[in-house]
Amino acid sequence: MRTCKLIRTAVLGSAALLVGGVLMEVLAQTTSFTISANVAAIGAVLGSAILMLAAVVVGLLPTRITHLDECQH
């Protein structure tokens, strides 16, 4: 199912962005790249939230709800 793959990809991408943001914040705290790493970390964490919100919105569309019932978890 195309919708199942879309939601799964969005969740995994969001998790990857969140982990990347946390790692960038650790990098910012331990190296001299404070400003650039902090900006990248904030962008990654906010991007993660936006991607997850987009996945929820797409999943709640009336045409997609019937397709999500057929997903195998």
Is residue 33 helix, strand or coil? coil
The per-residue pLDDT for 17 is 93
Is 58 within a domain? yes
Is 8 within a domain? yes
Is 73 within a domain? no
Is 56 within a domain? yes
The pTM for the full model equals: 0.78
Structural tokens at position 13:
């991408």
Is 59 within a domain? yes
pLDDT in tens, 34-70: 888 889 899 999 999 999 998 888 877 776 666 666 6
Domain count for the chain: 1
Average pLDDT, the chain: 83
pLDDT in tens, 14-36: 999 999 999 988 888 888 878 88
Is 72 within a domain? no
What is the rounded CA–CA span in Å between residue 53 and residue 36? 26
Is 24 within a domain? yes
Q: Which amino acid is at 66?
A: T
Range of the structural domain that residue 63 is part of: 2-67
